[in-house]
Amino acid sequence: MDNVWKDIARKIHKLHQQKEILPLHEPSFIGNEKAYVMDCIEAGWVSSVGKYVDRFEEKLAEYTGVERAIAVMNGTAALHVALKLVGVKPADEVLVPSLTFVATANAVTYCGAEPHFVDVSRETLGMDPYKLDAHLQEISFMKGQNCVNKVTGNIIRAVVPMHTFGHSVDMDPLIDVCSRYNITVVEDAAESLGSFYKGKHTGNFGKVAALSFNGNKIITTGGGGAILTNDYDLADYAKHITTTAKLPHAWDYVHDDIGYNYRMPNINAALGCAQLEQIDEYLHQKRILTKKYEQIFREYPGIKLFKENNDSHSNYWLQAILLDQERYDFSKVLKELHEEKIMARPIWKPLHLLQPFADCQKSDLSITIQLQKEIINLPSSPYLGGDNSGQA
Ligand SMILES: Cc1ncc(COP(=O)(O)O)c(C=O)c1O
């Protein structure tokens, strides 16, 4: 077995022979990044306002097809505000996948609400709408307009599907379930800039969505995020509360709400503008990398590269393989790859198993538990695609 992974590691290293260590995901700054950042420094507009913030918001809205994008300082802040915008309040419950990055559930707790964990599907790696429906049938009842958890007596206010590694959740049936139970959809699209469901960009399906531009994401602003929405009033309110809720005035400090200093600094937005100019090229390279990984793993039984399904056009942010547990020892594989200087990672520990969420409500999570023992992420930086033809 050991030889198999040495062999695989050798093939992965061949994707980029100049690098001794292959990290999981590295940003690249080969476009206008330096020019735009220098422009901020020379103009003195490095902080909370400036032309790059406005431009980044416009370009993001244009790219994703939403009416409005509001840039903030990270994806977690974007999720926090997104949940507030749809009225998540203390003692509410919010349905989230257990198989996600911890920020999805943390943002719920920032609103004083509780995450309620649900299972994912093997086809998408994201929330399973059919299992969600069955769970709601079992544990909830409608009280007026509200879906109430029979066990806790709390209102289930929102649901947060997350598009894992850029693969879209099956949104049509999910929206159907949520409209029957009157539960608002907030998309965690942190990983899915450049991903589409049935031809429409992710982030257009819920009332609000959140993006992340952390250093490991498909484009980066250093740290950063954005709130997406097609609702102008919500967008105005989001901009207001993420910029300290200050009323416009030449010198007076009047704040008419509890606001947050969640603004994206201009210097970060400058990076974002330059990165967004290159997104088509990144996406092109990532699809080539998928083909290369497919070729590598074709030869090895018991290792399956996760591919997009017919309804989803993925950005392939992180490449994922699923291991047959009968054939491979998961921990040994990770150790072996690390010894070979391939920075592979397991998927997240399911959130219901983390101490802060141990007492939260949950549905059957059998698929989550299984997938956690099978999924390994492999180096996914766009340069590993290695296509120099320049065709984006
Ligand atoms: C699924 C998911 N949600 C939320 C976040 C939070 O984004 P950030 O790190 O920008 O706060 C991330 C990424 O880090 C993520 O992967």
Check if 212 has its Cβ closer than 6 Å to any atom of ligand 1: yes
Ramachandran sector of residue 222 (left: φ over 0; alpha: ψ -120 to 50; beta: rest): left
Angle at 23 between CA 18 and CA 27, to 5 degrees: 90
Domains of the chain (ranges, CATH numbers): 2-27+279-385 (3.90.1150.10), 33-276 (3.40.640.10)
Query: Which of 66, 307, 306, 105 lies closest to 202 in space, CA to CA?
Result: 66
The three-class DSSP label of residue 215 is coil
Given this model, what pLDDT does residue 111 score? 98
Q: CA–CA separation, 382 vs 341, rounded Å?
A: 18
8 Å CB contact between 149 and 171: no
Query: 190: CA distance to ligand 1 center in Å?
Result: 5
Q: What is the SS3 assignment for 21-50?
A: CECCCCCCCCCCHHHHHHHHHHHCCCCCCC
Whose Cα sits closest to atom 12 in ligand 1?
A: 190
CA neighbours closer than 13 Å in the CB half-sphere of residue 25: 20
d(CA 218, CA 352): 27
| Mutation pick for ligand 1 pocket among 24, 76, 98, 213 (CB with most ligand atoms within 8 Å) | 76
Q: If you search the block for the tokens 């320049």, which residue do you land on?
A: 390
Distance (angstroms) between ligand 1 centre and the Cα of 247 equals: 30
Identity of the residue numbered 105: A
Matching residue, tokens 């040994």: 332
Atom of ligand 1 nearest to the CA of 216: 14
CA of 103 to the centre of ligand 1 (A): 6
Distance CA 358, CA 364 (A): 14
Q: How far is the CA of 308 from the centre of ligand 1 (A)?
A: 21
Ligand 1 contact via 100 beta carbon (within 6 Å): yes
- Cα 78 to ligand 1 centroid, rounded to whole Å: 9
pLDDT the model gives residue 382? 95
- CA-to-CA distance for 252 and 192, rounded, in angstroms? 40
**What residues have CB less than 8 Å from 34, skipping those under 6 apart?**
none
What pLDDT shows up at residue 49? 83
pLDDT of residue 18: 87
Q: Is 103 in the pocket of ligand 1 (CB under 6 A)?
A: yes
CA of 104 to the centre of ligand 1 (A): 7
Tokens 């994201």 found at: 126
Cα(103)–Cα(190) distance, rounded to whole angstroms?
10
Distance CA(389)–CA(392), nearest Å, equals 9
Q: What does each of the 392 residues of the chain score in pLDDT, given as a tens digit?
A: 558 999 999 999 999 988 999 999 999 999 999 999 999 999 998 888 889 999 999 999 999 999 999 999 999 999 999 999 999 999 999 999 999 999 999 999 999 999 999 999 999 999 999 999 999 999 999 999 999 999 999 999 999 999 999 999 999 999 999 999 999 999 999 999 999 999 999 999 999 999 999 999 999 999 999 999 999 999 999 999 999 999 999 999 999 999 999 999 999 999 999 999 999 999 999 999 999 999 999 999 999 999 999 999 999 999 999 999 999 999 999 999 999 999 999 999 999 999 999 999 999 999 999 999 999 999 999 999 987 665 54
Q: Is the CB of 168 under 6 A from ligand 1?
A: no
Alpha helix (H) residue ranges in the chain: 2-13, 33-43, 51-64, 75-85, 103-110, 129-139, 171-180, 232-242, 266-276, 279-298, 330-339, 366-372
CB 142 within 8 A of CB 292: no
For the CA of 162, the closest atom of ligand 1 is 1
Q: Which atom of ligand 1 lies closest to the CA of 76?
A: 11
Burial class of residue 295 in the structure, from the number of CB atoms within 10 Å of its CB (0-12 exposed, 13-18 middle, 19+ buried): exposed
